[in-house]
Amino acid sequence: MTTNLFDLSDDVAVVIGGTGTLGGAMADALAAHGAKIAILGRSEERGAARVKEIEAAGGTAMFHTADALNPETLVTARDAINAQLGKVSVLVSAAGGNHPDATLPPGSDFCKLPRDAWNTVFDLNLVGGSLLPAQVFGETMLETGRGSIINIASMAGMVPLSRVVAYSAAKAAVLNLTQFLSREWATKGVRVNAISPGFFPAEQNKALLFNEDGTYTERGGQIIGHTPMARFGTPDELAGAVVWLASQKAAGFVTGQNIVVDGGFISTTI
């Protein structure tokens, strides 16, 4: 008998950060394979637009405002999702980002890095980007004995990229927490994995990678030069990894793993 390994029609998937470019693409992919989608974020306008796109493609989706750093808003969202769509079985934690004050331009002094800027980036990526969502939605998964948590990490968590020291440290912590939870919950029906995207142009990093005329910045050119595929990724190229990890049929024995989607970039740095 043939089984559709990627049929997610029995799943309810929460995508925190689903209003963004990469989170939105992953939400679209999960919906295309049958999952009912709950988009969580702070922008109701962008959330409603993402829901409209999913529904126009034949999917089922809802939006709920939430701040990934505020557990009370996450609990409120979780309870609303459980009531409207059913028990959450997939969590994609895609909240995160960097801040200019926490970067180190060439020639700058690491000893002068502001503590507040460090804390902001670390909390956003580790606490809001992994810890609190896993606690809130993991509680439902442990109750039902079924779930897949997918944390969005980064290559910067594997190799400390220049300049983005706080971001790199936070993403390294995300990978460590992913492995810890995978071990803790392995016998309880909850799988915990991570995806580390390479360089995917989005609004947040566009100015870092491209000049106004569309040519590469110095930084962008360096990245392309270290990427064997000689290009940046496109958001839809994360679809396979997130759908695979979400599926109990396809990845039921996969936990504690970090799936790198980077066009080969990491192979030139380790």
Catalytic residues: 167
d(CA 228, CA 218): 18
Which residues share a beta bridge with 190? 147
